[in-house]
C-alpha cells in the first residue's frame, strides 16, 4: 500500500485526456474556474455555484466516511493516483462536483444569456461525463461509485433549486450571515466523522468549507458596501458579447486575480502554520502533528477562508484600482 504500480501507457490520447479530466475535479480547477466566473461573467451565477458546490461536496465527503465502501482493489486495477487512495470510494466526489458545477452553471445562466439550451446541456453532460470516466480510467472508483455520486448530486440540485433565490437573498442581506458563514462550517469541520486511521477527507472538507465561508462573507460585504445585488437596478457583471478588447481585460483580470489568490494562499499557509507550530510545539516536518484535529482544521480553514475572501473582495478592489473593472 502506498506504492505506485508500474504500468505501460498504450494510448496517450486517453491517458492525457483522462488525467486532465481528473484535474477538473480537484483544487487546481476550483481555485481558477470559480473565481473566473465571479470576476468575469456574473456575480449571481458565481454565488450559486459556490454555495451548491460547498453543500454537495460536504455531503459527499461525509457520506464516504459514513458508508466506508473501499476503493477498487489494486491489483487487478492499476491506480494512477495515490493521494486519494487513503479515502473511501462511495460516492465519487469528483462525479458529484462535476455534476453540480456544470449543471448549476447551466441552470443559472440559461435564462440570463442567449445560447441554445441544447448546446448548454451537451456541454454540461460532456464535462461531467469526462470527469466521471476519468475516475474509472485512473482506477480510483468503481462504476457504482461514479453513478452514485452523479445521482446524489443531481438529487441535491433538484432539492436545492427551489430555494436558490431565498438562500441567495438571505446570504446577501441577513445581518447574521458573516457569523453563521464562519461558525456553521467550523462546527461541521470539528465534528467530522471519526475514522480508525487518518484520511485526507476531513482536511479536504475543511478546505472546501473554508473557501465557501470566506467567499460568502465576501459576497455579503460586497452587497452591503460595494454593489448591492437587490436594488431597483439589477446588478450584473458579465459580457454576453465578447470582443478582442474585452478579451484582453478578461485575461488581465484572471491573471492578476490568480496571482493574488495564490500569493494569499501561500502567505496564509506560512503564517497560520507558524502560529500553530508555536502554540502546539511541533516540527515543520512532523506530518502526524499536522494531521491532528486541533492543527489541521484551523490551518486549512483559516488559509482557505482567506483565499475565498481574497477572491471576492480584495481582488475586485485591485481590479478597480488597476482600471480593469
- In this prediction, what percent of the chain has a pLDDT beyond 70? 91
Check whether the bond before 91 is cis (ω within 30° of 0). yes
Task: Count CB atoms within 10 A of the CB of residue 215.
Answer: 29
Side-chain half-sphere of 17: how many Cα atoms within 13 Å? 12
Averaged confidence pLDDT in the chain:
86
Task: Look at residue 1 in the predicted model and tell me its pLDDT.
Answer: 45
Residue at 246 is within a domain: yes
Task: Look at residue 236 in the predicted model and tell me its pLDDT.
Answer: 45
Pairwise CA distance, residues 135 & 20, whole Å: 11
Pairwise CA distance, residues 302 & 271, whole Å: 10
Pairwise CA distance, residues 144 & 161, whole Å: 25
Torsions phi, psi for 78 (to 5 deg): -95, 120
Q: Cell 479536504 sits at which residue?
A: 204
> Tens digits of per-residue pLDDT, 43-52?
888 999 999 9
- 184 near 277, Cβ under 8 Å? no
Residue at 3 is within a domain: no
- 261 near 310, Cβ under 8 Å? yes
Q: Which residues does the annotation mark as catalytic?
A: 94, 141
> Tens digits of per-residue pLDDT, 233-290?
344 444 444 556 677 888 889 999 999 999 999 999 999 999 998 888 888 888 888 8
Residue at 113 is within a domain: yes
H helical segments located in 24-116: 27-40, 43-67, 93-109
pTM score, two decimals?
Answer: 0.86
Task: Look at 82 and 261; give whichever has higher pLDDT.
Answer: 261
Residue at 122 is within a domain: yes
The count of domains in the chain is: 1
> 81: closest CA among 191, 72, 129?
72
> Tens digits of per-residue pLDDT, 164-187?
889 989 988 899 999 999 999 999
Task: Count CB atoms within 10 A of the CB of residue 167.
Answer: 15
Residue at 233 is within a domain: no
> 127: closest CA among 104, 145, 152?
104
Residue at 95 is within a domain: yes
Structural domain containing residue 72: 12-228+240-322
Residue at 164 is within a domain: yes
Q: Which residues contact 65 (CB under 8 A, 6 or more apart)?
A: 88, 192, 193, 195, 199, 201, 202
DSSP 8-state assignment for residue 310: I
Res. 78: pLDDT tops 80: no
Q: Which residues contact 315 (CB under 8 A, 6 or more apart)?
A: 35, 39, 256, 257, 260, 261
Task: Look at 298 and 241; give whichever has higher pLDDT.
Answer: 298
Residue at 4 is within a domain: no
> Tens digits of per-residue pLDDT, 200-233?
888 899 999 999 999 999 999 988 886 655 443 3
- 216 near 50, Cβ under 8 Å? yes
Amino acid at each position: 500500500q502506498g506504492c505506485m504500480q508500474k504500468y505501460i501507457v498504450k494510448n496517450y490520447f486517453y491517458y492525457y485526456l483522462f488525467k486532465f479530466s481528473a484535474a477538473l475535479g480537484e483544487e487546481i480547477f476550483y481555485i481558477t474556474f470559480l473565481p473566473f466566473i465571479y470576476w468575469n461573467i456574473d456575480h449571481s451565477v458565481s454565488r450559486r455555484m459556490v454555495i451548491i458546490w460547498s453543500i454537495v461536496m460536504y455531503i459527499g465527503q461525509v457520506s464516504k466516511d459514513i458508508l466506508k465502501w473501499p476503493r477498487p482493489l489494486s491489483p487487478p486495477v492499476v491506480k494512477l493516483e495515490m493521494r486519494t487512495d487513503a479515502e473511501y470510494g462511495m460516492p465519487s466526489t469528483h462525479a458529484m462536483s462535476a455534476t453540480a458545477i456544470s449543471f448549476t452553471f447551466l441552470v443559472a445562466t440559461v435564462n440570463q444569456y442567449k445560447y441554445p439550451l441544447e448546446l448548454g446541456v451537451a456541454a454540461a453532460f460532456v464535462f461531467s461525463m469526462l470527469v466521471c470516466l476519468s475516475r474509472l480510467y485512473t482506477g480510483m472508483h468503481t462504476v457504482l461509485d461514479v453513478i452514485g455520486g452523479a445521482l446524489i448530486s443531481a438529487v441535491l440540485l433538484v432539492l436545492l433549486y427551489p430555494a436558490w433565490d431565498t438562500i441567495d437573498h438571505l446570504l446577501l442581506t441577513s445581518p447574521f450571515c458573516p457569523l453563521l458563514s464562519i461558525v456553521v462550517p467550523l462546527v461541521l469541520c470539528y465534528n467530522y466523522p471519526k475514522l480508525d486511521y487518518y484520511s485526507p477527507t476531513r482536511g479536504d472538507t475543511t478546505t472546501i468549507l473554508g473557501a465557501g465561508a470566506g467567499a460568502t462573507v465576501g459576497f455579503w460585504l460586497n452587497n452591503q458596501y460595494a454593489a448591492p445585488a437587490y436594488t431597483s437596478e439589477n446588478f450584473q457583471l458579465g459580457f454576453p458579447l465578447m470582443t478582442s478588447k474585452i478579451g484582453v481585460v478578461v485575461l488581465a483580470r484572471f491573471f492578476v486575480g490568480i496571482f493574488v489568490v495564490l500569493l494569499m494562499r501561500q502567505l496564509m499557509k506560512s503564517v497560520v502554520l507558524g502560529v500553530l507550530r508555536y502554540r502546539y510545539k511541533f516540527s515543520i516536518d512532523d506530518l502526524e502533528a499536522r494531521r491532528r484535529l486541533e492543527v489541521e482544521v484551523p490551518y486549512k480553514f483559516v488559509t482557505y477562508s482567506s483565499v475565498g475572501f481574497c477572491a471576492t473582495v480584495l481582488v475586485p478592489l485591485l481590479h478597480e484600482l488597476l482600471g480593469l473593472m
